[in-house]
Chains A and B, each alone.
Chain A
């Protein structure tokens, strides 16, 4: 049981390039989330998927798109990367219901030059 996995671990992009961050969970969780963490700050929600087939914007969605490919996988896409998107990105999943714990992946460290 690997929990939440993310690929890649590190990525360097040039301004304007695109890329997709991958996330998968093997806990049969219904909800999945993408966060970004900037230095000295807490995590901020980019997008989330409450259940398979649904996605919603979080606090900082601009510049990102997501796809809930199936129950296991939730990807985050940067269509045209900008230096302001340099951050560490975390994926998380939650079983469902109102008060369940979110489990986090190890993160992807992205640098946009």
Chain B
């Protein structure tokens, strides 16, 4: 969406390295911040999310950090593996449940 910026648009990393994707939003009403992973030919699948009252959340190799004052949140993937190759979308959501998707980041993990 026009009010959501996601960077970078493509990210190539070597297996085992870390990947970071950043999402900036403008809607102050956003209070829920999910990240979706989309594999080729499939629908987006939630991989991690964070609520507005939390600064950081971790789930094994993935983590999300939120800076609500600056209106940005980031996805961190550590020890990347080939199966992490996909398109990742941020989707800040308001209290009515309306998502605004970023344009996506194509992540390629090379062995």
Contacts and interface: CB of A to CB of B under 8 A. Distances in A.
Given A41-B103, A45-B98, A45-B99, A99 B51 contact: yes
Interface stretch (B11-19, B41-49, B62-70, B76-84): B41-49
Contacts, number: 66
Interface in A18-35: 31
Interface residues on chain A, size class: 20 to 34
B43 A107 contact: yes
B48 to A, nearest CB: 11
Interface string B68-108: 00000000000000000000010101111111011110000
A43 B49 CA distance: 18
Nearest to B30: A99
A58 B1 CA distance: 12
Contacts of A42: 1, 4, 6, 89, 91, 101-104
B30 to A, nearest CB: 10
B8 to A, nearest CB: 14
Interface residues on chain B, size class: 20 to 34
Contacts of A90: 43-44
Contacts of B44: 43, 90, 104
Given A43-B44, A90-B43, 11 more contacts: A42-B6, A42-B103, A43-B89, A92-B43, A94-B97, A96-B97, A99-B51, A100-B32, A104-B36, A107-B41, A107-B42
Interface of A: 4, 31, 40-45, 48, 50, 59, 90, 92, 94, 96-107
26 contacts: A31-B97, A41-B103, A42-B1, A42-B6, A42-B102, A42-B103, A42-B104, A43-B89, A45-B98, A45-B99, A48-B98, A59-B1, A90-B43, A90-B44, A92-B43, A97-B97, A98-B31, A99-B32, A99-B51, A99-B93, A99-B95, A100-B97, A101-B34, A102-B97, A102-B99, A103-B46
